[in-house]
Chains A and B, each alone.
Chain A
């Protein structure tokens, strides 16, 4: 499968714990995006990378969230001191450039108890 892959598919954690998600984009794609989606809503932009540079972060994003793309390939999204409000589907997408279509992964479903 040469699509976008995300790991894990599901994560259950207790409030206050840290979690980390991984995204492997399509190999030739230089742009990588993280979105969050809650029930009954569309995806909400979190951050994006062009190669290894993090070019934009949502102003709504708490400083408990951090993302990296160290070598311009895979990316990780870490949430520190999780809260129940962080429960959501975290989606990763990649594209060849701005304006190109997004290819999405299947997401990581986070449940914070």
Chain B
């Protein structure tokens, strides 16, 4: 069965620190990859997505993610986090003919 694994359930960083959140999936074929974010008290919203082409994808608010096919990974990065990045981050993967499969999420807390 397909699955999505997010390595860290909780991450605490200080402002200006660099961020990398891990996401691995299990599916050997073509996939579409997504990161969604849920800010406190708000609904889920799309941060960025990868369908094809350049494996380094840039999203909103300075986030980027790199698709490494050989590692089945799609890690989210930001060079310098801000307090306003405190949120829960979800990785999601869609394989052909299947619905989105979601990771369990990573709660990110940024200390001011």
Size category of the B interface is: 20 to 34
| Distance between Cα atoms of A107 and B43 in the complex (Å) | 8
The reply to whether B104 and A41 contact each other, CB–CB distance below 8 Å, is yes
The reply to whether A102 and B43 contact each other, CB–CB distance below 8 Å, is no
The reply to whether A40 and B104 contact each other, CB–CB distance below 8 Å, is yes
Q: How many A-B residue pairs have CB under 8 A?
A: 45
Q: Which of A56, A93, A101 has the most CB of B within 10 A?
A: A101
> Contacting chain A: which of B12-20, B44-52, B61-69, B71-79?
B44-52
The answer to whether residues A44 and B9 also contact, given A106-B43, A107-B43 and a CB cut-off of 8 A, is: no
Nearest neighbor of A106 in chain B, beta-carbon distance: B43
The reply to whether B102 and A44 contact each other, CB–CB distance below 8 Å, is yes
Nearest neighbor of B34 in chain A, beta-carbon distance: A101
Interface of A is mostly: loop
A43 in the interface, Cβ–Cβ < 8 Å?
Answer: yes
Residues from chain B with Cβ under 8 Å of A40 in the complex:
9, 104-105
Please tell me which one of the listed residues A41, A58, A104 contacts residue B44 in the complex, with CB atoms under 8 A apart.
A104
Please tell me which one of the listed residues B9, B43, B105 contacts residue A105 in the complex, with CB atoms under 8 A apart.
B43
The answer to whether residues A101 and B46 also contact, given A40-B9, A42-B4, A42-B92 and a CB cut-off of 8 A, is: yes
Residues of A within 8 A of B (CB): 3-4, 40-45, 48, 56, 58, 91, 93, 99, 101-107
Query: Can you identify 27 A-B contacts, CB atoms within 8 angstroms?
Result: A4-B43, A40-B9, A41-B102, A41-B104, A41-B105, A42-B4, A42-B90, A42-B92, A42-B103, A42-B105, A43-B90, A43-B100, A44-B102, A45-B101, A48-B99, A56-B99, A91-B44, A99-B51, A101-B49, A102-B36, A102-B100, A103-B45, A104-B43, A104-B44, A105-B43, A106-B42, A107-B43
Residues of B within 8 A of A (CB): 4, 9, 32, 34, 36, 42-46, 49, 51, 90, 92, 99-105
* Closest A-B pairs by Cβ, 3 of them: A42-B102, A104-B44, A101-B46
